[in-house]
Amino acid sequence: MARYLTKKRRNIKKYKKSRKGHRRGGRSIKRHTVGKRRRMVGGADEFDFNVDPNDLQVFMSKIEKYASPFRAKSINYKYNPMSGETDKDCAGNDKVDYNTKQPILRKVEDIFGFEKVELVAKGFALVTKMGSLFSANNRKEQINVFACYVNNSDTDPLCYAIVRCANSNCNDGSNPEIRLKPNSNMESKILFLFTKTMLDSNVTKLPTPEIVNRTNYNAFRFTTRLSSDEDEYKILVPVTEAKPLNLNDFFDAVASKPPKDFKVKLEFMSVNTPRIKRECLDPGGSSVGIPLV
């Protein structure tokens, strides 16, 4: 509805607040806006957690939170540089010897961590850290599971790295000058699951599915290793998963007696370039702005 003022041959239209949606039978503006906003972010059930395996491999082997337990457990691989390969600084330039002013050739190096990681499972889950008074129960998370190999030539993974995001929108579409994490939305605490060594995580599938908010979940329990020994987690995975989500397949395999390797490589969602540069990460993790507690 509009009113008009006529003064000095001018028409000035003054608007009143629209009452659309307030009349009987009218469309709710609030409901329409909320629905539109949900569609814009992809909806609550659209998996969008993108983590690049190469970024994760560098991140885990360089940040002291993970490199330190790798070192303690002698989890390392040997890096053999290509002929003529030089040491680089964070900007990608050759490091130069102070005396000779010549580029420094990169040497054979023992790196604590995994030489190769591959995405093998992903999906939604409800995650609970058992025995904790301060952690949320059944927190909804998007999860990526990576098989971790000490050497490129290995045929079986040493363990699995469970990388998590608790946001409703986990896609990292940023393109920073220097990437400091494989995904800016990921939880800094990675859960490591072992099946065949002295670090066995003792994965167990609970006999009875659990019902949360009228949805049936398969329940799994395991002990995480390396990043925090002896912390026990319970993970609930929806009984019905849409392909290619396959957390049930993964946990069924590692919870079987004896446990089975799970190493079928999945396609991963790419993260914007540039990728993480090893030279730009502080080994102590103190100057990269990453909370790792």
List the pLDDT tens digit at each of the 293 positions of the chain: 555 555 555 555 555 555 555 555 555 544 444 444 443 333 347 999 999 999 999 999 999 889 999 999 999 999 999 999 999 988 889 999 999 999 999 999 999 999 999 999 999 999 999 987 667 799 999 999 999 999 999 999 999 999 999 998 999 999 888 888 999 999 989 999 999 888 899 999 999 999 999 999 999 999 998 876 689 999 999 999 999 999 999 999 999 999 999 999 999 999 998 889 888 887 554 434 443 33
- Rg of the chain in Å (alpha carbons): 25
| Residue 181 resides in a domain | yes
In a domain, 81, yes or no: no
Tokens of 82: 């290509």
Residue 214 lies in a domain: yes
What's the domain range around 145?
115-269
Q: Which of 161, 146, 149 is CA-nearest to residue 77?
A: 149
Amino acid 179: pLDDT: 86
Buried residues in 62-83 as b, exposed as e (16+ CB within 10 A)? bbbbbbebbeebebbbeeeeee
Q: What pLDDT is attached to residue 285?
A: 46
Domain-embedded: residue 261 = yes
CA 165 to chain centre: 5
The confidence score (pLDDT) of residue 292 equals 36
- Which pLDDT belongs to residue 280? 87
Q: Which residue has the tokens 């992903």?
A: 122
What tens digit of pLDDT does each residue of 150-167 get?
999 999 999 999 999 999
Residue 240 counted as domain residue: yes
Please provide the size of the chain in residues: 293
Given this model, what pLDDT does residue 283 score?
Answer: 52
On whether residue 200 sits in a domain, the answer given is: yes
153 part of a folded domain: yes
* Residue 65 included in any domain: no
Number of separate domains in the chain: 1
How far is the C-alpha of 170 from the C-alpha of 167, rounded, in Å?
A: 6
